[in-house]
Chain A
Amino acid sequence: VTQDLVVTVIYIGYAVGMLMTFGTVLTWVERKQAAVMSDRIGANRAYVRIPFTQMKLIWLGLFHGLADGLKMLVKEDWKPRTYDALAYSLAPWVVFTPVLLVFAVIPFGGMLEPARLFPSLADWYGGRSYPMQISRIDAGLLVVFAFSGITIIGSMLAGWSSNNKFSLLGGLRAGSQMISYELVMGLTVLGLLLIWGTVDLDAMVRRQSGTVLGVLPAWGVVLQPFAAILFMTAAIAENKRIPFDLPEAESELIAGYYTEYSAMKMGLFMFAEFIEIAIIGALFTTLFLGGYNLPYMDDSGFRFPGGHPIALSHGAVVVTQLLVFLAKVLLVCSFQILVRWSLPRFRYDQLLSFAWKFMLPLALLNLMVTATVLWALQGSAK
């Protein structure tokens, strides 16, 4: 229907715009946060001069991201003489596209009722309501894992088709690392699936607006604190950032699987990495931090544990949810950057034994304890 189409197109525009903005802004946040953490000032030389004046806008170096993007776009697109030119040019897109697609199932707001938000549209929209989520799929979480699995193929394609030993080693490392950590990531989430009994991300967020023990918000991080830590670790490893950046360990492999890439193809790899930071932030927010809701909040307003419901208008709820989601995602991104600039890199054998001998057993243990506790609780309820 036309109404649905309009809403969906707006959602897609919002999501893509948000991810692109995050991808660009995070390069700046990363630089600045690293600088402030290490008593430095950080990049602040790039400026935009207002035409016909001498006024230079610096804005704390915010334009460095623009300058980088422009540089990537106009650099020479150097290609190696490879036997598989198709795979070589396809690989950056195979890495980049799934990262964007993952966001399709992540809810960035609650239920939207255009008729209540804009009374002038009431006739056209009637009583329709839309969850703020590009596509509402029951298998939401599975879709997330399915798409992020495709990224592995992209990294390995890049490593394989570059006709370079460093790239090949990087591609192999990326493959084994991402497969190992994806397993851990999936297992950590299983505990939450047991508790909530659904893989629909929007339903998961709605379950989190209640309370536990009467006081604490029923966020995933409260219900499954160990799973939250393990998920975060596995997600950073999945994104191949320090301390898990073995595939592109520059002191060993130059740049790993994108050694032979230049200009915007290389930029796509970097951009995908930064967007994935935002995606991990969004996923972590959705699964563990109550999604787009503030504590004790749902689509109708606040409902505090003492029993004082505060109703909010629909517009206020929608705006709050959108902003809260962005703020939470930004906080989690900032935490990832903190980790990246604090911890030293693993050795490769340590990396894999960390996944298989430490995180995997812990994830299984967490799952086992969760299942036992749930079984005991349900048994007592019956």
Chain B
Amino acid sequence: VTVRYARKRYWNERQLGRWERAYLPEILRGLALTSRIFLRNMGKWITGRKGALTTYYPEETRADYAPLNRGKHVLTQRPDGKPQCVACNLCATVCPAKVIEIEAGFDPSDAAHPKFPLRFEIDYSRCVFCGLCVEACPEDAIRMAKETPNLPSGDRHAMWLGLDELLQWQPQRDPAKRYPSAGAGRSR
């Protein structure tokens, strides 16, 4: 007795059963599947719930960004609320998209950190979110947070973030440094 093995020619070759080769039942099954999803989602929309998995972007943002997502830049602060940045321009130098603009100021009263940024601006219309600025910073003054900047706009000149927004980040517990409490406020 010879046994004939029906062997697949390719590892992913589909082997259809008789029911599947009859074609019409599978077509009907497919239509039933899509119409079931349609009716389920329509039912959700009609009863005032959200029937979609997508996020309606500028109005809604996703809550489940990965912890290491490079969403937007933040500037860290000293205990007195001043930016940690010493305006050395290393980040602006390493930036491949050349989006960081820093204007340095001089403060003789602070002997340890006489140089500080008067202006620190990032053009998000060109930023590629590579994180090289974070790597280059010798002072741990710039980091990337997982949230995205809320910048959708019809005008690319409106897509800049300045010191005000970048210094919004005030973590309560940071293993590396002591930071001012959230209510302390900033005095620059």
Give the B-binding residues of A (Cβ under 8 A): 33, 35-41, 338-339, 341-343
Nearest-Cβ distance from residue A64 to partner chain B, whole angstroms: 16
Given contacts A36-B52, A338-B35, A341-B34, 9 further A-B contacts (CB under 8 A): A36-B45, A37-B38, A39-B37, A39-B51, A40-B53, A41-B52, A342-B31, A343-B27, A343-B31
CA–CA, A376 and B38, complex, Å: 44
CA–CA, A106 and B119, complex, Å: 72
Q: What residue of chain B has the Cβ atom nearest to residue A337's Cβ?
A: B38
In contact, B52 and A33 (Cβ under 8 angstroms): no
Interface string of B27-61 (1 = CB under 8 A from A): 10011011101100110010000011110100000
In contact, A39 and B54 (Cβ under 8 angstroms): yes
CA–CA, A33 and B54, complex, Å: 15
In contact, A36 and B27 (Cβ under 8 angstroms): no
What are 20 contact pairs spanning A and B, CB under 8 A?
A35-B52, A36-B41, A36-B42, A36-B45, A37-B34, A37-B37, A37-B38, A38-B37, A39-B37, A39-B41, A39-B51, A39-B52, A40-B52, A40-B53, A338-B31, A338-B35, A339-B31, A342-B33, A342-B34, A343-B30
Nearest-Cβ distance from residue A357 to partner chain B, whole angstroms: 13
In contact, B53 and A39 (Cβ under 8 angstroms): yes
Nearest-Cβ distance from residue B62 to partner chain A, whole angstroms: 14
CA–CA, A38 and B54, complex, Å: 10
Nearest-Cβ distance from residue A262 to partner chain B, whole angstroms: 27
Q: What residue of chain B has the Cβ atom nearest to residue A42's Cβ?
A: B52
CA–CA, A124 and B56, complex, Å: 58
B51 surroundings in chain A (CB, below 8 A) = 36, 39
Main secondary structure of the interface of B (DSSP, over half): helix
B35 surroundings in chain A (CB, below 8 A) = 37, 338
Instruction: Specify which of B30, B35, B38, B42 lies most central, judged by the most chain A CB atoms within 10 Å of its CB.
Output: B38
Nearest-Cβ distance from residue B31 to partner chain A, whole angstroms: 5
Q: What residue of chain A has the Cβ atom nearest to residue B53's Cβ?
A: A39
B37 surroundings in chain A (CB, below 8 A) = 37-39
CA–CA, A338 and B53, complex, Å: 20
CA–CA, A37 and B30, complex, Å: 12
Partner of B41, one of A37, A341, A343: A37
Nearest-Cβ distance from residue B102 to partner chain A, whole angstroms: 37
The 5 closest A-B pairs by CB, nearest first: A39-B53, A342-B34, A37-B38, A36-B41, A41-B52
Place the interface of chain B in its size category. 10 to 19
In contact, B30 and A342 (Cβ under 8 angstroms): yes
A38 surroundings in chain B (CB, below 8 A) = 37
A339 surroundings in chain B (CB, below 8 A) = 31
CA–CA, A35 and B53, complex, Å: 11
A41 surroundings in chain B (CB, below 8 A) = 52, 54, 56
In contact, A338 and B34 (Cβ under 8 angstroms): yes
CA–CA, A80 and B30, complex, Å: 42
B38 surroundings in chain A (CB, below 8 A) = 33, 36-37, 338
CA–CA, A40 and B42, complex, Å: 11
A35 surroundings in chain B (CB, below 8 A) = 52
Q: What residue of chain B has the Cβ atom nearest to residue A354's Cβ?
A: B23
Nearest-Cβ distance from residue B77 to partner chain A, whole angstroms: 38
Q: What residue of chain A has the Cβ atom nearest to residue B56's Cβ?
A: A41
CA–CA, A339 and B51, complex, Å: 21
B45 surroundings in chain A (CB, below 8 A) = 36
Q: What residue of chain B has the Cβ atom nearest to residue A36's Cβ?
A: B41
A33 surroundings in chain B (CB, below 8 A) = 38
CA–CA, A36 and B51, complex, Å: 7
A342 surroundings in chain B (CB, below 8 A) = 30-31, 33-34
CA–CA, A35 and B50, complex, Å: 13
CA–CA, A341 and B34, complex, Å: 8
Q: What residue of chain B has the Cβ atom nearest to residue A339's Cβ?
A: B31
CA–CA, A35 and B54, complex, Å: 10
CA–CA, A339 and B35, complex, Å: 10
Q: What residue of chain B has the Cβ atom nearest to residue A33's Cβ?
A: B38
Q: Which of B49-85 contact A (CB under 8 A)?
A: 51-54, 56
Nearest-Cβ distance from residue A42 to partner chain B, whole angstroms: 8
Nearest-Cβ distance from residue A338 to partner chain B, whole angstroms: 6
CA–CA, A38 and B52, complex, Å: 8
CA–CA, A320 and B51, complex, Å: 33
CA–CA, A339 and B31, complex, Å: 7
B52 surroundings in chain A (CB, below 8 A) = 35-36, 39-41
CA–CA, A343 and B52, complex, Å: 21
Q: What residue of chain A has the Cβ atom nearest to residue B33's Cβ?
A: A342
Q: What residue of chain A has the Cβ atom nearest to residue B30's Cβ?
A: A342
A338 surroundings in chain B (CB, below 8 A) = 31, 34-35, 38
Nearest-Cβ distance from residue A210 to partner chain B, whole angstroms: 29
CA–CA, A373 and B33, complex, Å: 36
Nearest-Cβ distance from residue A237 to partner chain B, whole angstroms: 14
CA–CA, A343 and B35, complex, Å: 12
Nearest-Cβ distance from residue B51 to partner chain A, whole angstroms: 6
CA–CA, A203 and B172, complex, Å: 81
Q: What residue of chain A has the Cβ atom nearest to residue B34's Cβ?
A: A342
CA–CA, A357 and B41, complex, Å: 39
CA–CA, A339 and B28, complex, Å: 10
CA–CA, A39 and B39, complex, Å: 11
